[in-house]
Every structure is written in C-alpha cells, then in structure tokens.
Amino acid sequence: MRLAIGQYTATSAAGTGLVEMREAIHERRSGLRRNDLEACDLDTWIGRVANLEEVALPDSLTYLHSRNNQLAWLGLQQDGMLDAIAELKQRIGSDRVGVIIGTSTSSIARTEEAYANLLPSGAMPPEYCQPEVHNLHSPGIFVSEATGLEGPSMTISTACSSSAKVFASAMRWISHGLVDAVLVGGVDSLCMSILYGFNSLELVSPDLCRPFDERRNGINIGESCGYAILAKEDMITDAQFSLLGYGESSDAYHMSHPHPDGKGAVLAMSQALDRAGIAPNVIDYINLHGTASQANDRIEALALAQLFSEHTLASSTKAWTGHALGAAGILEAVITLEAMRYGIVPGTLNCDQPDPDFAFHVVRENVQRPLRYAMTNSFGFGGNNATLVFGHADD
C-alpha cells in the first residue's frame, strides 16, 4: 500500500514555514543561536523558533496554553495547512480524518513553570490547573481541538523517532479502514528538563554541532513543529509525493546508546525498503538522523555502509535546525520532500573535516540533482528506530 501526501509544512529555527526554510537551506544559513533561553545558563547553541513567545492562541483554546501548544498553533497557520484541513473535512467528513502527533516532552515546560510558581500553601495557581496540558497527549488534544477533526486522535512519544512513527501508524489506520485520511505531525519545544537532562548525559555541545565531523562533540537542541496530510491515493488527486514504505525497530540495546553494530538501524531501513518494494541502490537521497554525537554518527555510518554504496547521497540537516527531538521526524521528512520537490540535496553544515574512520561519507555541499526516491532516518533512545521511504506520486 502507498499513501498520497497532501499539504505539508514545517516550522523550526531555520524558518517559519516552507519558504523561509528553503531560503535558509539554499543560502546555507543555520538557524542556531547562542543559548538565550530565559533562566538557562548552559553554554550551548539552540534552535529557537523566532517570536514564539508572542504567539496568541484563539480565545477558545486559551485553556490549553503552553509553549508547546503555541508552537503547534504557529505551525498550523503556515503554508495553507488550515485551509487544506478544512477542505478535507468538507469533502470526506471530519470523523474520517484522524490525528497522530509525535512529541518527546509535550508541554513539560508549562509544568516546570507551574512548579516554579506554586502558592505559599504548595498549591498550584489556578491558571496552571490544566489537566489537558500537563499531559503527554497534550499535542494530540490541542491539534484535534484546533482543527475540529473528530477522527481518532493519538500522541506518540518514542523519543527522537516519535514523529517519524506517526507516518507508520497512519498507514496502518488507513489500511485497516479506521479512517480515510490522517493529519500527522510532531511538535517539541525547548524546556529546562531537556536541556539540562541532555547536558547531564554529556551530550550537549558548547559549540555549533558538527554532524559526521571528526571534531564533533555533541548535539544542539532545537524546537520544531510540522504537519502533513496522508490519505488514500484517490483522496488527493493532485499529490506530488507518496509514502511508499516505513520501517520500525526497537533494538533495546541500551537506554541511550544505539546498538554498536547498528542492528536496529539496519532493520528499520531494510523494512522500509521491503515495504516500498525497491532495492537500496534505487534510493537517491537519505536524510540522516545525524545528531553529531560521537556514537550516533559513527553507528549510523556503519549501518548505512551495510546497505548503500557511495553513489547514494546522504546528509544530516540538524546543523540548520538543532535536534528537534520528538519533532525531528516530521521536520526532516518535510525537508526530504522539499529536496525531492526542488531537486536540491542539502549538504551537511559544519562538516569541515569528515571523520576518516567512517564507513560511509556524507554530502557536505548542496547538490542539485533530480531525486526519484528518498529516505529519512529517525533513531531514538532505547533503540526506537524509524525509517520512511518517499517517492513521486506519478511514478
């Protein structure tokens, strides 16, 4: 089975909406900045969405206020997404469109804020009594409410693979007839728990991240939001792209370290190719997980070398956006679709000295080339891995 991909959008430090993101990639201009998050003293770089604090929710949704839901709302307003959803609702019915959102931290920043403002009695101030916000399913709740979609709603939280796995779940929902279309997405925002948590694991770099560079020394954390409409092929007749296959694995080798031989990564990529019905040598471009941590990049390169040759173009785009955690999957899926749309492979920023010990080497400069098939990898903590394969709808 293949699914048509309708309207899609992404917002990150690289830009609000597709136009700004395309310009940043074309100009090789990173969206990362020195950490300026209020009350956070970590010496690092972050991928912060511009002017997010100024985003106002509609009056009917203020009870769901949080930084994460502000980002979810900002993302929904880009690239005609709300209009596309409204048209789909009118055409097939709001109850036949599902919602699946990926996240890692949900609205935990709002929970941090609530505990920092407890009343002298220890009680939570009334404005923070938000059960639908202090809740891992908060993004799913918010998006369903904001769009008026009445189909099943689910939030997936599997670390950094969260919003790649939404595509797999959508394909299963549609193939089983649960719905006819799904709004998939992902949203994760900056918060203290994540910044200090990753720093305690010695994974946060004080410098700009350098994916696949021999001097790489850690990640830069970012925030992002993205969406895509997936549907049966006859539901979106003007679709440019299709979801051809997905792969999911859980190697469970270690709480935070991937399997040293890349077994889970190879399994996810192999499953995605098998479902798509294509061979590895047909893939023109791979958007890599490529976080710039020591272990991740080395093991992903090892896994790639087991399936692909040097003729396959591959790159990491996290030096543009930061690692958007639970929103990385949807963000990088959209970047991959845009690469296919315009035939521009984004090179790997800051990879000035490629690690000579790597079994597979990445593209460092932007490459102009038609892309027929593309893949994106999202590998998370606990060995939660997801791979997606995309093709052109008219192929």
Q: Is 225 a catalytic residue?
A: no
Q: 13 with 48: CB under 8 angstroms?
A: yes
- The residue from 65, 225, 259, 323 that is catalytic is 323
Question: What span, in angstroms and rounded, lies between the C-alpha atoms of 25 and 34?
Answer: 20
The amino acid at 23 = E
CA distance 102 to 138: 11
> Does 209 qualify as catalytic in the annotation?
no
Structural tokens at position 210? 């350098």
What DSSP assignment string belongs to 78-108? STTHHHHHHHHHHHH-GGGEEEEEE-SSTTH
- Catalytic site residue from 65, 160, 209, 351: 160
How far apart are alpha carbons 192 and 114 in whole angstroms?
Answer: 13
- Taking Cα atoms as reference points, which of 229, 121, 231 lies closest to residue 178? 231
The Cα 205–Cα 209 span in angstroms is 7
Of residues 65, 191, 259, 289, which has the active-site annotation?
Answer: 289
Q: Record the tokens describing residue 152, joined without a space.
A: 């099943």
293 in Cβ contact with 219 (< 8 Å)? yes
Is residue 370 within 8 A of residue 344, CB to CB? The reply is: no
Active site (annotated) includes residue 323: yes
Q: What whole-number distance in Å separates Cα of residue 362 and Cα of residue 359?
A: 10
Element (H, E) at 230: strand 224-231
Q: Side-chain half-sphere of 345: how many Cα atoms within 13 Å?
A: 27
Catalytic annotation, residues = 160, 289, 323
